[in-house]
Amino acid sequence: MLESPGPTLRLVILLLSTILAPTLALSETDLSVASETLWILGAQRVDVDLGDSSQEVDVALRGDRIVAVLQAGLIQPPKGAAVVDGTGLWLAPGAFDSHVHVSSTPALLSQDTPELRALETAYRNQAGRSFLLHGFTQVVDLNHRDEGSIAWFRENGPAPDLLHVGTALTMAGGYPLNWVPEDERWSYSNYLLDPLHPVPNQPAGVDPTQHTPEATVARVESSGGVAVKLFWEKGFGGFSNLPTPSRPLLEQVVATAHQRGLPVVVHANSFEAWDFVTQSPIDALVHGMWNWDQHRGSAGLPAEISQVVDRAIDREIALMPTTRVLGGLRDLFDPTFLSDPRLAEVYPPAFLDYLQAGGGGGLRDEIRREDFDDSPDDAMIRRQMEAGRGQGDRVLQAFVARGGNFVFGSDTPSGPFYTNPPGLNGRLELQHLATLGIDPLAIARALTLAPAKLFGVAHEYGEVAVGRKANLLLLRSDPLQSALAWGEIERVIVSGTVLQPVDLAAAR
């Protein structure tokens, strides 16, 4: 056991704490730890708050916590402590994917045969590893209704830390309940009844007091939700003019959530939706503005859209752009997608075989039939999807360039689409952000500190600092120089356990 530090060492520590705090810090009690510590030596610490990656540090972990961050070589690790050589590597906070749906299994619209149930089990047993493989040590489920899915995700480890927002709030008969058979919609716990817009065909026995902002937000809080998610969506495809929250109802939801210390994130992807919801004190927009309504097809950034972007920034509303929603839809019509060798790392062999044999193809046919008049022209469909994403990209670029706070999220999967694979979908999102010229520091903050602050967990995540959760990445290049560095992973550390990427791959 390492002895308590002597006066000289205490003085050194005190001077470091005074001169360099909070960049480098160590409490004296942490130095008494011996063999139960893990030391990462000589890595370049990625400080996304200060935008600095120049400090070479030694970091000590005990259990699932960071207990010391020291100037490299200041002291020797205790005898018997485990050591990881970080020389020539960058030590970064583990990344968030702040928009996932862990209970959704892509391509499996039903599990009513033993074969399909086996595929679902295989997918679920791999999903957590696939997120970790691509550096996502925390994920946020933005609408979960199944406590069992949280349990299997957490227990079929290794897996990222899973945060969630409970059951999202929507209107009775609104999106996404429009996809549910009408006789089943009323079993959804967190639909809202708006006194300004009575719902036709409401069945007998519905208790209106259970579908107020107070009741629905209370259920989110009691489930352990870290935020309240609300849908503001009039529809698309074969659905339009779906009910959306009125101004009084929206502001009552926000006030109720804020009273309970919960941020409000709103599903909104159109000019109309952004224009409406940014006039209320919400905390984040979930999805980019890829539907420009009357401005569709306009060049540049129309003045009205620009004004909404400025309003969101002025009101400190964060943006989660989720470009992979339309990217994934486009990829459904790309015949080469299933040839991507990276899929073998994130999808179990039997699951990938099922997809390559045509499983899940009915989703593509349904979209072609409902939205494109059954057109066989897949290239045209891809162009239209990319055009919509391009509109969202222009909004995102303006938002970031003007100082807006954006939060990383991939929406994995955005529907039952095999083109949104766990982990890899986030990697593709990152790559797209890099191609847009988004500043690497802005991307680094969006992956780490920004979501930690949005969801009220900055005391746990987002920094390589004493007391934070030991969810970390050792990278082979500097993510503050290039966002692509987040894909150059040497080691993944989750809850203090060091993992090699090769051991996380499905084809291991």
157 φ/ψ sector (left φ>0, alpha ψ -120 to 50, else beta):
beta
Closest CA to 489 of 447, 460, 455: 447
pLDDT at site 157: 81
Strands 497-499, 489-494: pairing is antiparallel
Weakest-pLDDT range from 136-150, 212-226, 262-276: 136-150
**Average pLDDT over every residue of 74-89:** 94
Radius of gyration of the chain (CA): 24
What b/e sequence results for 421-460 when a residue is b if at least 16 CB atoms lie within 10 Å of its CB, and e otherwise?
Answer: bbbbbbbbbbebbbeeebebbbbbbbbbbbbbbbbebbeb
CB-based contacts of 293: which residues, under 8 Å, 6+ apart? 270, 271, 272
Q: pLDDT per residue over 296-345, tens digit each?
A: 999 999 999 999 999 999 999 999 999 999 999 999 999 999 999 999 99
Residue 152 has pLDDT above 90, yes or no: no
d(Cα 381, Cα 111) in Å, to the nearest integer? 29
Torsional class of 374: left (φ above 0), alpha (ψ -120 to 50), beta (otherwise): left
Q: Does 82 score more than 90 pLDDT? A: yes
Q: Rounded to whole angstroms, how far apart are CA atoms 183 and 202?
A: 10
Query: Within 10 Å of residue 360's Cβ, how many Cβ atoms?
Result: 19
Other Cβ atoms within 10 Å of 112 Cβ, number: 9
* Per-residue pLDDT at 495: 97
DSSP 385-441: HHHHHHHHHHHHHHHHHTT--B-----BTSSS-TTS-TTHHHHHHHHHHHHTT--HH
Cβ 271 vs Cβ 292: under 8 Å: yes
Question: CB–CB of 163/140 below 8 Å?
Answer: yes
Residue 19 has pLDDT above 60, yes or no: no
| Mean predicted confidence (pLDDT) in 487-494 | 98
Query: Sign of the C-alpha dihedral, residues 42, 47, 52, 53?
Result: positive
Structure tokens that stand for 412 in this block: 């994995």
Is the pLDDT at 225 greater than 60? The verdict is yes
pLDDT at 426 over 50: yes
Q: Which of 445, 477, 472 is nearest to 40 (CA)?
A: 472
pLDDT at 35: 53
Instruction: Identify whether the C-beta of residue 138 lies closer than 8 Å to the C-beta of residue 161.
Output: yes
Tokens found for residue 287 = 């999805």
| Residue 416 token pair | 């039952």
Question: Which one, of 195, 203, 175, 387, lies nearest residue 298 by Cα?
Answer: 387
What lies within 8 Å, CB to CB, of 282 at 6+ separation is 250, 254, 264, 265, 266, 317
Q: Strands 191-192, 170-171: parallel, antiparallel or unpaired by DSSP? A: parallel
Tokens representing residue 413 in the block = 């999967």
13 compared with 128, residue with greater pLDDT: 128
The full set of domain ranges for the chain reads 7-93+463-503
Where are the extended beta strands (E) located within 101-217? 136-141, 161-164, 170-171, 191-192
pLDDT tens sequence across 189-202: 999 999 888 887 78
Q: Is residue 27 scored above 60 in pLDDT?
A: no
Nearest to 354 by CA among 59, 112, 115: 115
CATH of domain 7-93+463-503: 2.30.40.10
Q: Decide if pLDDT at 269 tops 90.
A: yes
User: CA 386 to CA 388: how far, in whole Å?
Assistant: 5
The answer to whether 485 and 293 have CB atoms below 8 angstroms apart is no
SS3 assignment, position 90: strand
